[in-house]
Every structure is written in C-alpha cells, then in structure tokens.
Copies of this chain bind each other. A is one copy, B any other.
C-alpha cells in the first residue's frame, strides 16, 4: 500500500538487515515498524535516518518524553497520520499520561488557532521580539 514494497527481513539488503537488528536491540522488541521497512530499499538513507533519530531523541537538555511530545505536535501540524500514530505510541511508552496527552492536544489546538489568526491578519512582528 506504500509507494514501494515493505521489505521483510529476507527481502532487505544485508546492510538494511543490520539496521533492523540495531533497531530491535535499541528498542528491546522484535517489531521493526513499517517506516523502516520502506526505507530499507536505500540502506544508506535507512542508516543515516536511524542514527540521526537516535542522536536527536537521546536525553539532553530536554528529556526524551518532552522530545516525543514535540515530535507528535510537529507531525500533527504537518498532517502525517503515520507519524502521529507511531509517535503517540512512543510517547505513551515513554510515560505520557492521559492528562499529559490532553494538555498536549490543547496546546496544539490553541497554537493552530492563533497561528491561523496571525496569518489571516498578517500581524507585523513587534520590534521587541526582534532584538537579540
């Protein structure tokens, strides 16, 4: 149903299978999700995307759950259904409670509403916001 076939472990090039194994090890699950199975046609892209994702989502100045919430928010604003589903599941796995989910949704709704108003009104940016 994707625009390219989903590759099983058997069909994937060896270099992609190695990334599948890295995904399994990092996540402690046997499931390799469809996103990786379509990217597997291009082992270099698969590896680069997986490795960058690991680096970006690692604990840092922001904790991993906060990063997942931001990921869900961007995915919703960009209209990516697949990403909303997979990162909402990831956020729950990292500790998102129903209350956090409701508040995340409320911020997404609020921002979308004021984004639309500011754009529909073409509000000029306050000079105050432009100071370094």
Contact = CB atoms under 8 A, between A and B. Distances in A.
Interface in A27-61: 31, 33-35, 38-39, 41-42, 45, 48-49, 52-53, 56-57, 60-61
Q: Give this chain's copy count.
A: 6
Nearest to A80: B115
Interface residues of A, number: 81
Contacts of A126: 31, 33-34, 85-86
A108 interface: yes
A84 interface: yes
B61 A122 contact: no
A14 to B, nearest CB: 17
B118 A80 contact: yes
Contact of A111 (B5, B34, B74): B74
A21 interface: no
A67 B33 contact: no
Nearest to A77: B77
Given A102-B41, A105-B45, A129-B86, A2 B123 contact: yes
